[in-house]
Amino acid sequence: MTQRTRRNASLAIKSAELGLAAPFVVAERMARMARAGSTPSARDRKEFHGMINEKTIAFAQSWQAMAWEAARANQAFASAFFRSLLMPGRKPALPSAAALHTAAMEVLGVGLAPVHRKAVANARRLARKRR
């Protein structure tokens, strides 16, 4: 299996795990809110407050990671283009479709990682508490 195939498989697996974990976490938390009613306990308030903070942090980390990865890919493409301009007799090197696809998958992968990590951790934690 090539590195590209492994990377795409990993992204697909993480997407599927996120697709399974997120609805479970939402269902567990909605049930907890319903049980808490209008007078949530201190433990419930801590969980509800954490729900908001963790999403803000995970999505900020995701956007930052995606921005850095996109900047790194753009820098690599620009560097290759300008190197080719400095070599007389060679036509400018434009990125191939495969290189652009790989860069896009890398951006998606680093962007998905923080959200995936938090959602899967929450699903495991909430499933443990359920038993």
User: How many domains does the chain fold into?
Assistant: 1
Q: Look up the pTM and report it.
A: 0.78
Q: Which domain holds residue 34?
A: 3-130
- Give the Cα separation of 70 and 102 in Å (integer): 11
Residue 62 amino acid letter: S
Query: pLDDT: is 3 or 81 the higher one?
Result: 81
Given pLDDT bands bounded at 50, 70 and 90, which one contains residue 92? low
Look at the block and give the residue holding tokens 């899967």.
120
CB atoms within 10 A of CB 26: 13
- Tens digit of pLDDT for each residue in 2-45? 666 666 678 899 999 999 999 999 999 999 999 999 999 999 99
| pLDDT for position 60 | 96
| pLDDT for position 10 | 87
